[in-house]
Amino acid sequence: MASALVYLTKQNIVHHDIKPANIIYSEPRGAVLLDFGMSKEDFHGMVRSGGTPWYLPPEYLHVNKNGQHRLIRGFPGDIWALGVTMLYVLGKCRPEKTKDWLIRRAHKDGHDRVLMQSWIKSVAEYRKQLKEVDDGIGRLVSQMLYDNAELRVTAAELHAKVVAVKGVIK
């Protein structure tokens, strides 16, 4: 998955819907990313709705200086979504078992926004637990789940760290 994100970044494409259902495993190729129906060229913080609620990054809820919601998504959002996917893979949580919300209303004040904020707080708790785990995978996933998109690991950094962790595990 890390190499797929590096490739997409080089092509200036954001997937916008990374989740377990959009990843398959192939023996010769490893993890394969599917469903590019939501993918678009990155326009440096584009306004974008759609996707799957639990995999939306926190920056989707950000408000600009004028008090308008920005609905920002981009490469760091794909990293966040892969991090949430890894929570599922590691058996930490099954996002779809929690209450979902309507994405198109999450940026507005109200019930859907509260549900998304609550989910983001849950992810922060999982992140804290992972950070304390003394293994490369836990720490790496925690770096994918920073609330602040600028602090998240990039696709290239993720790929380099995955290669390093693989070397330690073998």
- The residues annotated with a catalytic role in the active site are 17
- Residue 56's nearest CA partner among 150, 123, 151 is 123
User: Are the CB atoms for 167 and 160 separated by under 8 Å?
Assistant: no
User: Are the CB atoms for 38 and 50 separated by under 8 Å?
Assistant: yes
From CA 60, how far away is CA 112, in angstroms rounded?
13
User: Are the CB atoms for 137 and 1 separated by under 8 Å?
Assistant: no
